[in-house]
Structure 1
Amino acid sequence: MNSRATAYHHGDLRNALILAAAELIEERGSADFAMVDAARRAGVSSAAPYRHFRDKTALLDAVIDFAFFALGEQVQTAVQTQPPGSAEAIIAIGKAYIRFMREHRAFYGLMWGDAGIRALQERPSDERSAAGFYVLMSAVEAWCAQNPVDERDVLQLSIKLWSMAHGLAGIALYGHVERFLPQADVFSLLESSTHTFLEGLRKRC
């Protein structure tokens, strides 16, 4: 009996199905699977998923939540490896963000595409998808507290730094960085860009 079936028999059918769907998405590189596929992967009957999910869209929403949670955990782990308030802490978050997207390519479209937008619109007050961003905001706030900068709008600065990491992740994901800059290291690009941005803030004082 596989782990998902074991989880099901312990009353954790919902999570077993989310894990099954996530594995199918990663294996196939897309969300091209049916509810029966997730049920089969979880080791349950074809009717079992509907005890927790009205349809595949609801299951995908749960997978998106799971992906954002995993991303948040990864950036939280990364920032803890660096001194609080340092530029390195901010860079570590950006690198973790890019690394997550590279390792889970199939989730990029789900999280940032139409499915992710729809899920956000349906649950505008749900902050689970923002967990990783709040880690970045805390790191930016700590950096501002330790550096002489005039600009202390932490939210605005965080969005600018986030867009830097997200932009590099997006274009690197499909090979566009290497297309224009062969042998480029996207992590080095992020590091130099972040230092340039932060040093620019300091020089404005």
Structure 2
Amino acid sequence: MVRAVRKYRPNRRGRIKLARWLRVALLRLMACAAAGFATVLVGVPSITEGENRALIVAIPLAWACLLWRGSLIKVVLGPGALVVFGMWSRALVPCVVVKRLGEDPDALRSLLVLETQQGEQVDFGWFAGSLWDFLYDFTGVCTDAMRFHIRTERHLPKGAPVRLERRYNWSLVADSFAIATVACLGAALYLAVR
């Protein structure tokens, strides 16, 4: 069973996703529960009207946004590059610019760090420590997969960037929760000063 789980195969786009799927499922369920709770709060007549209602509804919506963003964390092994998705941004790292992928000796706990030829760093601290690590060292499996990918994909695809690029990580669901939170806070502020 362990061998079957460790055999990562590319999807139709030639990409392999390394993610904590149990963590993803739990975080997304919790985000949906928080959004559902906010929806219920909107319809409860016993909550005070006006700014207090808007403020109370904004809190679970903010939690829903944060939880959903936490579920976006993953590493995608694509043609010629690693794409590291964090909560707020993603880093596109071409394999040709990777200098080292290993543990950071200066870290308080064991952290996997990728260093580029230009000296830029991407850490994978959020990727370590899970139930799967306890069962069969999932972090080690992911590290081996990334190292193998870097070794075998040292060519640059046509039109690919030649250095590490960081961009904002867009998410339709998380950004919708964030917009709803800001709208509720704006409504609460407007009703408070009116």
TM-score, structure 1 normalization: 0.30
Question: Which protein is richer in strand relative to its size?
Answer: 2
Relative contact order higher in (CA < 8 Å, ≥ 6 apart):
2
Higher share in helix: 1
Larger radius of gyration: 2
